[in-house]
Chain A
Amino acid sequence: MNGVTKGHLEKRKRADVFFRVLATASAATVLLSLLLILGTILWKSVPALSLSMLTQTPKGGFYLGKEGGILNAILGSLYLAVGATVLAFLLSLPLALYLNLYKGRASKTAVWTRFFLDVLWGVPSIVYGAFGFVVMLALGLRASLLAGMLTVALLEFPIMCRAIDEVMRLVPLELKEASDSLGATRFETALKVMARQCAPGILTGVLLAFGRGIGDAASVLFTAGFTDRIPSSLADPAATLPLAIFFQLGTPFPEVQQRAYASAAVLTLIILLISLAGRAMSRKVTRHVVR
């Protein structure tokens, strides 16, 4: 082997090693940024995290650094996200079933509907907020728990629907044929075979959308309002955790900003819990699944 080819080989080898290191470093960057975010939030929250913070509503002067907690926002967010998720589910499940059982999976309707769902997924939440606001004005509604729920439901709908649809697309068609051959109507096949077969996947999709809904701030800014009290009816305005964080961080007082960190930690823990629950459940709720 002469010197020229040897040098050439060396160069190729060096490029190979270089890019292997670069790619590994990039993947590590992604992992590290997640750890850095979680670590910073949790570490910064420790001084302000207390039980009274979780169990009390804001007292007078809360935003000046006085007594109180963020119970109003925690409950407000939970009510809002649960309501929105139920509404979104009522739309998503039928639509996913329709696309997979009633229309062929690759039919024109299915392709176009998926396309629009993907487009909706990409619509920024502030636009949903503005749209919800426009509709509210048109109907003469005020900022309320209900208006927030409806807006967040719109936001969650494409996320949940696409997640469920992806799972249903993997179900073998033989299962449907078997059900048909037993004389079941399509509706019965849909509910008793398809929905049950996909139960774990549906649950994961629901939790995914729930997490997105509870963490979103821009869409509830216009529509749900903000209050220091716990909402007692659908027509009341409701505080939400993301907005509570935002407002607390916006004050010039260090004590209140500390609480913003603590509130952010609470929200992060809720999200972590949901994502862990989703993982655990998708493994457990497989009792009725045909393999």
Chain B
Amino acid sequence: MRLLKDALARRAMGFVAALPGILVLLIVIGLFLKSKAILGVEPLSRLLFSSAWHPLKGQFGLLPFITGTVWVTVTALVLAVPVSILAAIYLSEYAPRWVRESAKPVVDLLAGLPSVVYGVWGVILVVPFVGGVLAPLAGVYSSGYSILAGGIVLAIMTFPTIIHVTLEVFASVPGSLRDASLSLGATKWETTRHVVLRKGAQGILAASVLGFSRAFGETMAVLMVVGNVPAVPRSLFDAGYPLPALIANNYGEMMSIPRYDAALMMAALVLMLIVLFFNVLARRILVRVEKRVR
């Protein structure tokens, strides 16, 4: 009886173990099947590289949305990567123990805040700041609902991802290496730069790539502050219209216009494939880093 239970449990668990892989595959296949309706009619190159977005005329060029996503994400990373890495350096190299311990809940909480809350905050604070302070400083007019506002909000959202992974990478650098460098008369910063950062370079790269893919797919917070104008943006103060926002904004009317739903599912597929690519890349690097340390 006990053995039977054991055998049953093992079968069931073995099935569950296959689930993650199957799920990844199912998502890609499901979205692909739905987007076939449009892939059969329009050539892929026109879908991806045309900026004509007129669903009523049957034109579905995704270029404005893809560039919008890239602009927002790159802006966010330019802001987030240096701050996150420096913060991680402070926490791992300079901070006293109690600060390091109490920083963990802060980072966790930042990661746990819902994206809608970030969005509301962005609307209250960041959008007026960009429109009323930064844009006049740069000598341009902007409503504030812009790529830059999206980038700032998104940057704060990616802090926890990058800090968390970077801290783990720094922790894996042996302390004896630091001691050796310090004993040769190097200053704290020189040690950090030549030993910790060099040893952890690949891991930091992986952390940034992970941050990138997290930011790339973020929907609600960006949607609320970025303006949502379907044109290729020309400056940071222009409104943009990222892919996830496109999908989220139009789910209501997509069933009433022919091939609209297929176009949106294809947008989801593009998003999935790009994020998948960067995720796999980052994980590969991290696995290699982990192996080398051991």
Contact = CB atoms under 8 A, between A and B. Distances in A.
Interface of A: 12-13, 15-16, 18-20, 22-27, 29-31, 33-34, 36-37, 40-41, 44, 91, 94-95, 97-99, 102-103, 109, 112-113, 115-120, 122-131, 133-135, 137-138, 154, 158, 161, 185-188, 190, 208, 211-212, 214-218, 221-222, 242, 245-246, 249, 260-261, 264, 267-268, 271-272, 274-275, 279
Contact of B21 (A20, A116, A130): A116
Contacts of B265: 130, 134
Contacts of B106: 30-31, 34
Interface in B110-125: 110, 112-121, 123-125
A120 B23 contact: yes
A91 B190 CA distance: 48
Nearest to B107: A30
A65 B48 CA distance: 42
Nearest to A43: B124
Contacts of B27: 123, 127-128, 131
Interface string B1-43: 0110110011011101101110110110011011000000000
Given A16-B189, A119-B276, A218-B248, A29 B87 contact: yes
Contact of B189 (A19, A44, A118, A126): A19
Contacts of B17: 95, 98-99, 103, 109, 113
Contact of A116 (B20, B272, B275): B20
Contacts of A26: 82-84, 86-87, 89-90
A271 B111 CA distance: 11
Interface string B80-107: 0011101101110111000000010111
A133 B251 contact: yes
B216 interface: yes
Given A23-B87, A217-B220, A264-B120, 18 more contacts: A12-B190, A15-B189, A23-B93, A24-B90, A27-B90, A37-B121, A98-B17, A119-B280, A122-B275, A122-B276, A127-B268, A130-B265, A131-B26, A131-B30, A137-B34, A187-B5, A187-B10, A271-B112
B238 interface: no
Contacts, number: 259
Contacts of B251: 133, 221-222
B279 A260 contact: no
Contacts of B116: 215, 217, 242, 245-246, 264, 267
Contacts of B192: 19
B109 interface: yes
